[in-house]
Amino acid sequence: MGKMKVKTDRTNKINSRSWDDIVYTWITRIFLIIMVAVTLYPVYFVVVASFSSPMYVNNGTFLIFPKGFTLKGYTEVFRDERIWIGYGNTILYTVCGTIFGTAVTLLAGYALSRKDLPGRSVIMKLMVFTMYFSGGMIPFYLIVKGLGLLDTRFSMIILGSLSVYNIIVVRSFMASNIPDELFDAATIDGCGNGRFFMQIVVPLSKAVIAVIVLYIAVSKWNSYFNALLFLSDTDKYPLQVFLRQILLAGEAMLNDTETLLDQQAAAELRNMAMVVKYSVIVVATAPIICVYPFIQKYFVKGVMIGSVKG
């Protein structure tokens, strides 16, 4: 539909073209403003709710301005000093895991992006297969146990750092952004695979590297399942496990028949959970959200092929 309009417009004069541009710009602008508003309000709601009395939050009484200011949510979260241990561990796991994961993903993604790699299609298929079929939690546990990785920091760094999804993203990105001729030209200059990767592929792939770093870092930051499964030593717990404990405390109790006997406890936990829910999100996500601006830098237009071709 738009296309037809565009086609007739093409024959028009220059000033009508700029008129098109203005219309297009305004449409995108309005769309963006709506999207930002729609996402901003709930995010704002979370932040304000974390400082407000849960009664007003859950009553729907506060729409825009906070009501019943309280810091209880935050004091509750930071009451337990172990949360700082959690922060430390999470940063360690996230940083190391992201470095490891990104390196492995890039290497594999690049290798698989090369059309002159015999067997790449088979390897791809075998990798995609694992996205759909997994043996389940128990064999996974037994293997980790067999490797002697139970209750180690190493396992927290390694496990979950690599995903086939990310490899595919890197692979398809490189396949479409790094032309085959580039490698051919480089080989003529006597450049091998290793040097080509380091000196040409990596600098040209900054944008996708940024994406992968973000993907891995966020998933590492948010992960708790492996920690719950493999760690017994609380000193090694990541932040999310501590926060989950605080959060689940009230919620899980309600469905847990055993604790129904202890109504007092359940009621206290419930009230606590209500206050803490929103502050936990702020505490958990504020640091990782700060990573984003550093990533955004690499999404600047035109840093790529154009500069090489010239």
Partner 1 sequence: MKMMKRKSAVSRELAATHRSQTLRLIKRNWLLYVFLIPAVVYIILFEYAPLYGLQIAFKNYSFAKGFSGSKWVGLKWFETFFNTPRFWDILKNTLRVSVYSMIVSFPFPIILALCMNNVTRTKWKRFAQTVTYMPHFISTVVLVGMMSVMFAPKSGVINTVLSWLGGSGSTYFMGKAEYFPHMYVWSGVWQGMGWGSIIYMAALAGVDPSLHEAAMIDGANKFQRVLHVDLPTIMPTVAIMLIMNCGKLLNVGYEKVYLMQNDLNMTYAEVISTYVYKMGLGNQRYSYSTAIGLFNNVVSFIFLIIVNKIVKKLSGSGLW
Partner 2 sequence: MKKRIAALFLVLSMAAAMFAGCANTSVDETKGNTEAPAEQTKAPEDDQATDGTQETEAAGIPVDYFAGTELTIAVKKHNYDTGESWGDKPAMKAAEEATGIKINWIMIDSGQSERINAMLAGDMPDAFIGNMIKANTIAANMDLFYDLSEEGLLETYAPDALEDIKQLNGGLDLITWPDGSIRSLITNDECNYNNDAEGIMVINKAWLDKLGLGIPKTADEFYNVLCAFRDNDMDGDGDPTNEIPFNSTEKFWAGKIIQGANSWGIAGYNNSVKSHYFQLKDGKVTSTVDTDEFRAYLEFYHKLMDEGLLNMDCFSETNDQRSAKLLSGNVGVFWSWTPQDVGDLELAKDYVTLPPFQALEGVEPVKSGTRDKETFYNNGFVISAECENVEALLHWWNYLSSSTEMKYFVKFGEKGTSWDIDANGNVYLKRPDDITEDFTESNHHYTYGWSSYSPLILKEELPVVDTSDPYDSTAWRTLMVDEVYDMLPTDTFSTKKFVSPEAEDEKDFIEDELDAYLTNFVATSIVEGVTDDSWNAHLEQLKTVQYYEWLEWYQKYIDGTLE
Interface residue list for partner 2 (CB under 8 A): 54-59, 61, 79, 137-138, 141-142, 145, 225, 228-229, 232, 234, 241, 244-245, 248-249, 252-256, 258-265, 267-271, 274, 277
Q: State the binding string over 179-198 for partner 1 (x if CB under 8 A, else -).
A: -------------xxx--x-
The answer to whether 271 contacts partner 1 (rule: CB under 8 A) is no
Residues 6+ apart with CB under 8 A from 20: 6, 9
Buried b (16+ CB within 10 A) or exposed e, 140-153: eeeebeeeebeebb
Residue 54 partner contact from partner 2, partner 1, none using kind-dependent CB cut-offs of 5 to 8 Å: partner 2
Q: How far apart are the first and last CA of the chain?
A: 37
CA distances to 72, 243, 267, 309 from 79, rounded to whole Å, are 10, 12, 19, 58
From the list 70, 152, 177, 259, which residue makes contact with partner 1 (rule: CB under 8 A)?
A: 177
The answer to whether 299 contacts partner 1 (rule: CB under 8 A) is yes
Contact call for residues 274 and 197 (beta carbons, < 8 A):
no
The answer to whether 136 contacts partner 1 (rule: CB under 8 A) is yes
Residue 283 partner contact from partner 2, partner 1, none using kind-dependent CB cut-offs of 5 to 8 Å: none
CB of 264 to partner 1, least distance (A): 24
Cα–Cα nearest to 198, from 107, 295, 263:
107
Closer residue to partner 1, CB minimum distance, 235 or 296: 296
Closer residue to partner 2, CB minimum distance, 59 or 199: 59
The backbone region for 174, taken as left when phi is positive above 0, alpha when psi lies in -120 to 50, beta otherwise, is alpha
CB of 260 to partner 1, least distance (A): 18
- Nearest-Å Rg of the Cα atoms of the chain is 26
